[in-house]
Structures are given as structure tokens and as C-alpha cells.
A and B are shown apart, each in its own frame.
Chain A
Amino acid sequence: MNFTIPLIQIGEGEKQLVGGKAYALAVLTKKEMNVPAAIAVTTDAYDAYVAQTGLRTKIMMELNRKTYDDIRWEELWDTSLRIRNMFLNTPLPKELKDTIEESVEAYFTGKSVVVRSSAPGEDTSETSFAGLHASYVNVSGTDSILQHMKLVWASLWSDASLLYRTELGLDESRSSMAVVVQEIISGDVSGIGFGQNPNDPAQCVIEAVYGLNQGLVDGTLEPDRWILDRAKGDIISHTPAVRSHRLEISEAGTLLASLPLQLQSRPPLTQERIQNVYGLVMKAEDIFGLPQDVEWTMKDGIIHVLQSRPITTLAGEKKDDKRGWYLSLKRSFENLKTMRQRIEDELIPALKKETEGLSKTDLSLLSDKEIEDEVARRREIFEKWKKIYWDYFIPFAHGMRLFGTVYNDTVHPEDPYEFLSLLSTGDMVSLQRNDILQAMASHVRGNDSLMHDLKEGNFSNPSFRSMLEQFISSHGDLLCRSRHCAEETPSIVHMVLEMASMSVKAISRKEELHEREEIFLAQFQGQKKEDAKAMLDIGRASYSMRDNDNIYMGRLKARVLEAEEEVSRRSGTAERGPASARRFDSLSIGADRSQSPALSDDADPGFGLQARQITGQPAGPGIATGTARVIRAAADLMHFRKGEVLVCDSIDPNMTFVVPLASAVVERRGGMLIHGAIIAREYGLPCVTGISGAAEVIHTGDRVTVDGYLGIVIIENVTNAIREC
């Protein structure tokens, strides 16, 4: 077994063993180009690791929980996170560790390195996919280098890789990953040279930024861009960037630092240096015989090649291929900081203000023509905010994912979702809403005469009435969302009565939260600690916003429906209660309306079919057995009884007021960070998501067990034994 090979010793026979990136760097080294000193950790090392530790089998089981077509992008992220945690928590076998350590220490003692992926076949002209696998910049110390090597291995199963698994030919029983450990060059200027412009084959493109290349590669920094004539190297155009920052090496790894003023007005490359980069890119093309995408850095006037691969575009991108969009939701920490400021300081206040403004209009005073115009105006406003929701609120959810990755990298918890417990600070509007309902329930509990009155539909008790009005004024009615129909809708009272009849589980978030926060922050010193605090802060804001944005959008939606209902009222087709709730369902902000195909009742006359045990994703630890209540529409929430298992296709925070009554939550939509999972965690309920066709294969009245540890739902006693077909 050859676990490591220095770059200089890599020959053609080792191409598969060291992966495309390491092989290309070895070829360039032999052609006497400036390539930083590096070693390749071979695929043999990866193979030995996953075989000896049993990880290969675990990965296989993890990836085969469900059929690939049934897995949503969010589930892939979760799967990838779980696999990543397995790598983090599985030590290297001794012989393997000793061998790699020896090589790393021989080459890099006292030096900082970059740890890069080098997957076999990754950098061929057919399958070059940029950014699917991980790279870590400025890593020092043998232990840390080895730990980052494991993270690069884990990125063979990153969510991005899994999204493109077919194109990559990813096979959990055979795929492997080599790693390049490369001495870091702290460049003054860095960039990418594309030997051929994908938009014009007669041109090439050079991009450059001040500082390290990572800032350009991960999209944090906008580069200066030059288009050159491919044949002659003449500059055709230059698009300058707004140069405000550069990525520098720091104690914490890298640091986005302000660019000195004198550099802000000066392009990072002079005419002469542009020609140097052009020469480099063309030389790489001569060597490999195909136009190259070359990452380079320049220090003290000397240009170094960091990597070179053939130019390709993402394969398989069809018009309806949303994978590129999913990946664009991943944002850098800097991007999230800017986004947060805009969301908190500008967008949410504007959304609230606009919604409040609408509620001030007395619709009954408008003429018929005016009310029709008002409906159109409100719809338009809703559509405007829906776009903002998708452009800002949805991508901001990446903040909690980013924090989760940092948390797992430092704390190495057994539960890869432990980080969620740090994010829950009780700032979610849905929790505040539910707390008020609990308070009303406490008021009713023990007061038999009030309870009796409420059951009889008599809501005249003054103190209860006042609480009810206060609730409606701050949160609206639970089902129809319109204030004017609240009096006719007993949904709030129903909820309060159900809550009053069960014992209250006090949820103490504060102490545990503080303790976990201390454990997390104790892992860091100095600047790193400040960065960790900032990351936690972003994670928390993102966590609350994930839920709150839907509540705010729900309130805006109520204003649209209110106007529509006024039109219906005047035309004599007004709807109330459940019908109104159905209209609420129909005005959607979500894109994920693709419910699992329902199993129709037509069936084979000789056979009956029933799912007995279904595998989904573990989304909230715990186990509970109860009677299923399938929620297909908001109106079904009215029938919810305490102790039932909430089964739904997808639930949004406007509907999660029933969750405190539930014993467990099951959702068709998969993911750890979907609303159903978040609220279930808040109440300590077992939760399983990603159950295909949940609302179809499980029926109201079925007795089900929800195993939130393993992500399994067991249907024990179906309502009609076996459903006759």
C-alpha cells in the first residue's frame, strides 16, 4: 500500500492513485513550472480508512436509506452532514496514521499548508466539476492537517457531489478520494486564468484579486476581469471590480481584511503581469493539450500554479435542472452578514410596515370598483414579497448550516444536529404565539365553569375574552387569518381547550443553552473566539428567520385574503371557517408543492398493500406511539387532539400551533431544518421527515410509532386491519 507520494515522484502509472489534481500538479512540476511543494495522500489511504473502520458500509447504508429520486436537496445536505460527522468522529487506524504523519512531518513541519481534494477522474475533460469537494487553506500542525484531510475525504460525499452523483459516477462501494497537501503561498495577488472563454472560443479570460485565491474561488470577492485575444494575448477589455477587501492568512485561518486605500484604485495586475498569466495559461495548455482553467498566485513577482484542469461547464444542466440554484443557496459568512443586515434592518421592518398599512384600510368603506383594485394591489404586493422571500429569506437559512458545520468541526458531537440546540433562543414568533396559547390554557385549566362555557361556544367570560382579543390582535385567527371571521371560528378556543386538558411540559431552554454555548466557545481562543461568536450569532438569526419570515408572510397573505373575502361577501359567495382556510392554503409562497404521488385506491383484486415500516430521516430524537392525525389542509388542524401523531405533507409555521398537542411529528418533506422538524425539536418531540407519501400511506386513526432516533415510522395497527383494495 502506498499511502503518500511526493509530487515529484508521481508518474503516469499513479494517476488513478493520486487523482486528477495531484497528477496535473506533478506534470507541471516536471515541466519546471513553479508549483508549491506538495504530497499526495493516495486513494489507497482512503480505501484503507473506510475499509478498516467499517465506514464504507456505513456510508452505503446512509445513502441507501431511500431511493435517490425520493430525496430532496435538503435531505442530501443532512445525509452529507451525517457522513461528514462519521469521518470527523472516526479515528485513523494506527498504521495508516503513522505513515501519513511521517510524510506530513517530513515535508511540512513548521509550515502552513492547503489541503485540497484530488478525486480520481475529477479533473478530466469529461467530468471537471469545480467546487464539489472541499479545500482548506492555511492549515498547520500534523493533527490539524490529518483532520482536514479527513474532511476532504468526507467531501467525496458532499451535498454537491451527491446532487451530481450520476454525472460523477459516484458509487459508494468503489468511489475514492486522494488529497493534495500543498505548502501555502501567501500571494499578494491571485486569480484564475481560463485558456478559452466559454462564451467565445477566440478569447481567453483572466481574473485577479488582491490576496489569497480562496476569496475569488468561494465567491466572497469580485475579481478584476480581462478578456484577451487567445491567439495573440492582446487585451480586448478590462472590467474592474469594486476593490474593497482581500483575503489574508490569519491566526484563525484566513481573514477578510480591508484593502489599503492605495490598492483600491489600482488593478491587481499590470499589463506585464497579465502577459505573465497569459503565458502561464498557454503553457499549461501546451502541456496538457486542452485549454486549461488555471488557479495561480503571485508573490514578490513570481507566479505559482496552484492547480490546473481542463475547462468544462457543469454537465447535465437542463432548463428545469434546479441543482445549480440549490448550490447557489450556500453563502459565505461575509455574504450572510451583509444579507442579515439587509433583512433585519430593511426588509422585515418594510414587510411589517406594509402589512400594517394594509390592515388600516377599512375595506367595507371601499366601492365595488375600489375593492377590486385593492385585491389586485394586494396580490401585487404579495408577489413582490414572495420574490424577496426567495431572493433573501431562503438563502439566509444557510446561516444555520454554516454554523452547524463549524460546530461539528470543533465540538465533534455524536449527534450531528446538536448544534440546533444552541440556535434556539426562543425568538421565534411561532413559539411566542404558542406560549400565549399555553397561558390561555393555564387560565382555563381548573376552571370547570369557564371550560364548560367555552365548550358550549360561550366566550363571554371577560378575562378570557380579553386574552382572546389580545391574541387575535397580535396573531390573527389561527385558521382563516382574517380578523373579521375570528369570532365565528372556534379554532383558538378549540386549541386552548385541548391544551388545557393536558399537563404542561415546561421547556427550559436557557440553562442548557448557556452551557452548550460555553462548551462551544471554549474551543476557541483570541480572534477565533470572536469569529465563532459572530458565526453563532448569524446561525441564531438565521434559525429564527427561517420560521419568522413565514409568519410575517402569513400575515401579509391574510391581508390579501381579507380583501378577497370582502369581494366574495359583496357578491354573496363568502366563505367561512374551513373553506376560508382552504383559500389560505391555495395562496402559496413555497415552491415545494410536489407532493408524493398518492396511491390511488384502485388496486389489484387479489392483493392488499400496506406499508409497515418506512425509512425517512431522523429529525428529532425520541420515540412515541400514538394515533395518527393526517393533516392535508389547514382546516384539518381543527380536529387535532392531544397526544396524536401529526402526519403531514408539509407544514409551515402558520400551522405549527398544534405541535404542542402532538406526541410526534411525521412529514413527507425531508430535512432536519424544515419547519416541522424545527418546531418538534423545540418541544422535544420525536420527528421523522422525508417519509414518502406520508399523508397517503398513513391514515388518520392508524396507530403509529415514530422513531426519531433512527428516522423510522412503524405503522402498527391500521384502521381497517389491511385496507381492502
Chain B
Amino acid sequence: MNKIEKISELRQILSNLFAGQKLAVLSSFGNEQPYASLVAFAFTEDLEHLLFATTRSTRKFANLSSESKVALLIDNRSNTDKDFSYAVAATALGRAEEVSGTERASYVHIYLTKHPHLREFLSSPSCALMKINVQKYYVVNRFQNVEELHIQ
């Protein structure tokens, strides 16, 4: 397998993983303290952006306003013993920003295609659609195998 095939395989693994999951764990940082929260996420086909929505009054939004560096964990664990062998987890590292302007419509479409029941939530003026510009993914499978996919 050459590197193109290997990368293509890893991208496919990520696409399948993301397509199969609705929720992810977001790590933000504020007040000198990491903070983890569960978010409903979506992704762009090229894997370069991850999307989630949050109300502006939340701690995570406050954190992101002061520190845009985030990590997002997406995994397919089933909470059984098989997870130790078969679960895949991807940690995305990047910077989060609120989606606005002309690009908003296309990201809203992507987000609501995955989470149609969140239409009302997303259309609320108090809700922000956030976009993570992914710099790299760490992909873990078979319990301890780790590969890094770097977005140039």
C-alpha cells in the first residue's frame, strides 16, 4: 500500500466514523482549567472542518471566546468489552470560530442534514454555529495504535 492509499484508507475510516456518530466530546480551556462537554457534531466531506452548535451563554462558548484552541473526540465505543479491540477514536486538534457571513448557509445545511431535529435550536438567536478548522487528527484503533493525519 502506498502513502496515497494509506491516507485514503485512513480518511475513509474517519468518514465512516463521523457518519456513524452524532455526539462528540469537546475540550475547551478557560479559567486555567480544561473543560469537556458533549456536543452534536457534523463534518465537511473533506474532513477539514468539524461543526457543532452551542448557545452563547454556555461555559464552553465563553472558553472558546478567550481560547480558540480545541480538541474534539469522536469515537464509536459500544460500552462492551469489544471496545478494547474494535473501537476507533479520533481526536481532532484545531481552532474553533463562529460561522458567519456567506459561508453560514452551506454549513447550516451540512449541520441540519445530520441533525434535522436541531433546526429550532440552531435558528435561535442565542445559538452559535461553531466551526473547527482541523489541523490534525490522531486516530486510535486496536487499543493502542495511533496514527496522525495532518491537514496541510
Contacts and interface: CB of A to CB of B under 8 A. Distances in A.
Contacts of A597: 1
The interface residues of chain B, by DSSP majority, are classed as mixed
Interface stretch (A60-68, A295-303, A646-654): A60-68
B149 A613 contact: no
Contacts of B124: none
B144 A600 contact: no
Contacts of A599: 1-3, 6
Interface in B1-47: 1-4, 6-8, 10-11, 46
A611 B1 CA distance: 15
The range of chain A's interface size is: 20 to 34
Interface string B136-152: 10100011111111111
Given A60-B84, A66-B142, A612 B3 contact: no
Interface in A306-342: none
Given A60-B85, A61-B84, A64-B85, A611 B3 contact: no
A472 B151 CA distance: 53
A572 interface: no
B4 A710 contact: no
Interface string A582-620: 000000000000000101111111111111111100000
B144 A710 contact: yes
A614 to B, nearest CB: 6
A172 B85 CA distance: 11
A173 B86 CA distance: 12
Interface in B104-152: 136, 138, 142-152
A70 to B, nearest CB: 11
A285 to B, nearest CB: 43
A612 B82 contact: no
Contact of B3 (A65, A606, A614, A725): A725
A57 interface: yes
Contact of B10 (A56, A61, A173, A609): A609
Contacts of A65: 142-143
Contact of A606 (B10, B46, B136, B138): B46
A61 B85 contact: yes
A613 B152 CA distance: 21
A214 to B, nearest CB: 36
Interface in B41-83: 46, 48, 81-82
Interface residues of B, number: 29
A502 interface: no
A2 B84 CA distance: 30
A401 to B, nearest CB: 26
Contacts of A608: 149-152
A612 B146 contact: yes
Contacts of B143: 61, 64-65, 615
A607 B7 CA distance: 7
A611 B7 CA distance: 11
Interface centre among B8, B86, B138, B147 (most CB of A within 10 A): B147
A607 B149 contact: yes
Contacts of A722: 136, 148, 150
Contact of B4 (A63, A173, A604, A615): A604
Q: Which 8 A-B pairs have the closest CB atoms?
A: A613-B146, A64-B85, A608-B150, A57-B81, A603-B3, A612-B146, A600-B2, A722-B150
16 contacts: A63-B85, A65-B143, A173-B82, A606-B152, A607-B149, A608-B151, A609-B3, A609-B6, A609-B7, A611-B147, A612-B147, A613-B144, A614-B146, A712-B144, A724-B152, A725-B7
Interface of B: 1-4, 6-8, 10-11, 46, 48, 81-82, 84-86, 136, 138, 142-152
Given A56-B81, A603-B7, A615-B145, 6 more contacts: A61-B143, A64-B143, A599-B6, A604-B4, A613-B145, A722-B150
